[in-house]
Structure 1
Amino acid sequence: MSSFVVCSITALMEDIAVVFDDTAATEIQVNAGVLMLASPIFKSVKEAVCKKIQLPGKDPQEFRTLISFLLPGSGRLQTLSVENVDFLLKWCQEYCIDALRCECLEFIRK
């Protein structure tokens, strides 16, 4: 029974699909609340009502990394690095994710 509960909770948490091109292979299920709390841009996206956000031309792996920084449970376990700070800063600037943007800028200054 506990596995049923876990599946149900997971389904509730991953309530919106982010699509990067026309193939299902690049569709990532995420929590709309996490996106909307982190970014006023995602909050205003009308596609969220349809449970699908289109991000054509964006890198799905970069998005996965961004989401790992935004999730409440694991976000503080993530660390900025030379490998991820540049693309994270671009995402943060484009989607107005101010707290993480400030962290990226501070990392670059150091």
Structure 2
Amino acid sequence: MQARIPSWRSGYLKFVGIDLAWGEHKPSGAAIINENGIIDRARADLRTNEEICDFAGLASGNGAVIAIDAPLIVKNLTGQRPVDKFPGVREDTANGAPPA
């Protein structure tokens, strides 16, 4: 028996992007994008693992691709990266993301 793999053309596949914060004291953000590339849902106030998992579960159905951006190694207790110290980075952010 061959498993059915949802495809982009199926109309059911969702894409979930999760941007994890540095611990539960700062909110994480997530978005669900439909097969047409349109944001179905977005949140920037997810604080617990349960909230993040519940949000990602909203994309369940026939399939979902989940991408997670998470801080794996930050060498200080504050979670601040060296790039965060540059002038203008904090002021010019859009939904927590520094300008590209």
- Specify which structure has the higher proportion of strand: 2
**Normalising by structure 1, what TM-score?**
0.24
**Normalising by structure 2, what TM-score?**
0.25
Bigger Rg over Cα? 2
**Larger RCO (alpha carbons 8 Å, 6+ apart):** 2
